[in-house]
């Protein structure tokens, strides 16, 4: 009897713990709020030209109305799964690609992704990011065309709905149109323990489910990109002495040739 009671207590404690952990979070990046955290990842509004801070490597384009979903795969051309847009901007990604985006925020390392949304101006400018899952796999995954088979993409490393049905609300009217970024997603590096440089990385996302908030997907495609860190290059001032010397040698040779030509002429 004592054992049974302990077992019951343990079960009750576990349910309370689980209920305590269950947390559906909404990060609203419309209006004036600029950031929020869901399941350890940070979602941050940006209206800056991202090309100023890093190199953008787009790897997934999605487009459909009133909602859309898909994941990055090189198999999208020609067999685009879900609402993927086939083409050079939807393709496989290796973990080494993701590693090039590593940034440190408050002592924690994150991979930095950029989401560029394209929604019509006016009453349809809102869009919701309802699902975001990132998988890694040692081998290239087979083509997945059913959400119930997403686990074929490998080991789940991040899930925006891990703590409850969460989403991010975005407003395309907050940015300056094509070419400017809309949101950075910072995914904790610690989620990827044991992943090898050559492993495949698959990002599945879904948009447009918040119909009551008028946040369905319309207009142009949504695009995910890796924000690759720029490797520092030598400044021109450091190169200038060499360039100056080469110019001096070249001009001296030209002068000599001209003088030679005059003499010969
Ligand atoms: Ca919309
Ligand atoms: Ca969700
Ligand atoms: Ca769109």
| Radius of gyration of the chain, Cα coordinates, nearest whole angstrom | 25
Question: What is residue 47's predicted lDDT score, i.e. its pLDDT?
Answer: 79
Q: Rounded to two decimals, what is the model's pTM?
A: 0.79
In the prediction, which pLDDT does 90 show? 97
Q: How remote is the CA of residue 161 from the centroid of ligand 2, in Å?
A: 5
Distance CA 89, CA 68 (A): 17
What's the confidence (pLDDT) of residue 212?
95
Per-residue pLDDT of the chain (265 residues; tens, 9 = 90+): 445 455 555 555 555 445 555 789 999 999 889 999 999 999 999 976 655 556 899 999 999 999 999 999 999 999 999 999 999 999 999 999 999 999 999 999 999 999 999 999 899 999 999 999 999 999 999 999 999 999 999 999 999 999 999 999 999 988 765 545 689 999 999 999 999 999 999 999 999 999 999 999 999 999 999 999 976 555 555 555 555 555 555 555 544 555 444 444 3
Q: Which ligand is nearest to the CA of 68?
A: 3
Those residues whose C-beta lies under 8 Å from the C-beta of residue 98, and which sit 6 or more positions away, are 111, 192, 201, 226
Please, which residues bridge with residue 104 across strands? 109
Q: How far is the CA of 58 from the centre of ligand 1 (A)?
A: 21
- What is the structure's pLDDT at 162? 97
Alpha-helix runs per DSSP H in 91-234:
95-99
How close is the Cα of 219 to the center of ligand 3, in Å? 4
| Helix intervals (H) in 108-228 | none
Q: What is the pLDDT of residue 22?
A: 72
Q: Are strands 26-28 and 167-171 parallel, antiparallel or unpaired?
A: parallel
pLDDT for 263 equals 44
* Spacing, Cα 64 to ligand 3 middle (Å): 7
State in Å: Cα 49 to ligand 2 middle: 28
The alpha carbon of 28 and the centre of ligand 1 are apart by a number of angstroms equal to 14
Question: Taking the domains of the chain in order of start, what are their residue ranges?
Answer: 20-232
User: How far from 35 is each of 29, 30, 31, 158, CA to CA, in Å?
Assistant: 7, 10, 11, 18
Structure letter (DSSP) for residue 66: S
| Bond from prior residue into 78 cis (ω within 30 degrees of 0) | yes
Could you tell me which residues come within 8 angstroms of residue 239 by beta carbon, excluding any fewer than 6 positions away?
Answer: none
Cα(120) to centroid of ligand 3, in Å?
Answer: 8
**How far is 117 from 177, CA to CA, in rounded Å?**
9
Q: Please give the distance, rounded to the nearest whole angstrom, from the Cα atom of residue 220 to the centre of ligand 1.
A: 10
CA of 131 to the centre of ligand 2 (A): 5
User: How close is the Cα of 119 to the center of ligand 1, in Å?
Assistant: 6
Q: Note whether 29 and 181 are within 8 A (CB).
A: no
């Amino acid at each position: 009897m004592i054992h049974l009671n302990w077992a019951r207590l343990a079960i009750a404690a576990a349910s309370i713990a689980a209920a305590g952990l269950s947390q559906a979070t909404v990060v609203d990046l419309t209006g004036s709020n600029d950031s929020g955290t869901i399941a350890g990842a940070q979602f941050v509004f940006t209206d800056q030209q991202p090309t100023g801070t890093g190199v953008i490597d787009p790897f997934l384009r999605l487009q459909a109305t009133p909602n859309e979903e898909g994941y990055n795969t090189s198999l999208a051309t020609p067999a685009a799964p879900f609402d993927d847009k086939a083409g050079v901007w939807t393709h496989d990604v290796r973990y080494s690609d993701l590693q090039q985006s590593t940034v440190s925020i408050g002592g924690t390392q994150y991979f930095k992704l950029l989401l560029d949304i394209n929604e019509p101006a006016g009453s349809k400018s809102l869009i919701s990011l309802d699902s975001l899952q990132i998988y890694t796999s040692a081998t290239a995954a087979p083509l997945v065309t059913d959400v119930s088979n997403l686990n074929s993409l490998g080991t789940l490393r991040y899930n925006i709905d891990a703590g409850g049905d969460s989403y991010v609300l975005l407003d395309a009217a907050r940015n300056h149109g094509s070419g400017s970024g809309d949101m950075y997603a910072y995914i904790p590096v610690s989620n990827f323990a044991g992943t090898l440089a050559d492993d495949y990385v698959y990002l599945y996302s879904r948009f447009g489910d918040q119909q009551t908030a008028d946040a369905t997907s319309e207009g142009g495609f949504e695009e995910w990109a890796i924000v690759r860190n720029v490797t520092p290059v030598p400044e021109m001032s450091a190169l200038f002495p060499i360039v100056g010397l080469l110019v001096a040698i070249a001009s001296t040779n030209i002068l000599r040739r001209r003088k030679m030509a005059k003499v010969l002429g």
